[in-house]
Amino acid sequence: MGFENIRKAVIEMDDQKVEQLVHEALGKNCEGIDILDNGLIAGMKEVGKLFARKEYYVPEVLLASEAFYAGFNIINPLIKSSARKPKAKVVMGVVEGDIHDIGKNIVKVMMEASGYQVIDLGRNVPTPRFVESVEKERPTVLALSSLMTTTMVHMGDIISELEKKKLRDTVNVIVGGAPVNEDFAKKIKADGYSPDALSAVQLIERFISG
Q: What is the pLDDT of residue 43?
A: 94
Contact 193/174 with Cβ under 8 angstroms? yes
pTM: 0.78
Q: In what order do the strands lie in the sheet with 117-120?
A: 117-120, 89-94, 141-145, 172-176, 192-193
What is the enclosing helix (H) or strand (E) of 117? strand 117-120
- In the 3-class helix/strand/coil scheme, how is 33-72 assigned residue by residue? HHHHHHHHHHHHHHHHHHHHCCCCCHHHHHHHHHHHHHHH
pLDDT single digits (tens) 67-97: 999 999 999 888 766 556 788 999 999 999 9
- In sequence order, what are the beta bridge partners of 94? 145
What is the arithmetic mean of pLDDT over 49-74? Answer: 92
Residues of the chain with CATH 1.10.1240.10: 4-81
Strands 117-120 and 172-176 come out as unpaired
- Where does the chain hold its CATH 3.40.50.280 domain(s)? 89-209
Q: What percent of the chain has pLDDT over 70?
A: 97
114-163, pLDDT tens digit by residue? Answer: 889 999 999 999 999 999 999 999 999 999 999 999 999 999 999 999 99
Tell me which fold the domain 89-209 belongs to: Rossmann fold (3.40.50)
Top-confidence residue, 10 or 76: 10
Q: Which CATH class is domain 4-81?
A: mainly alpha
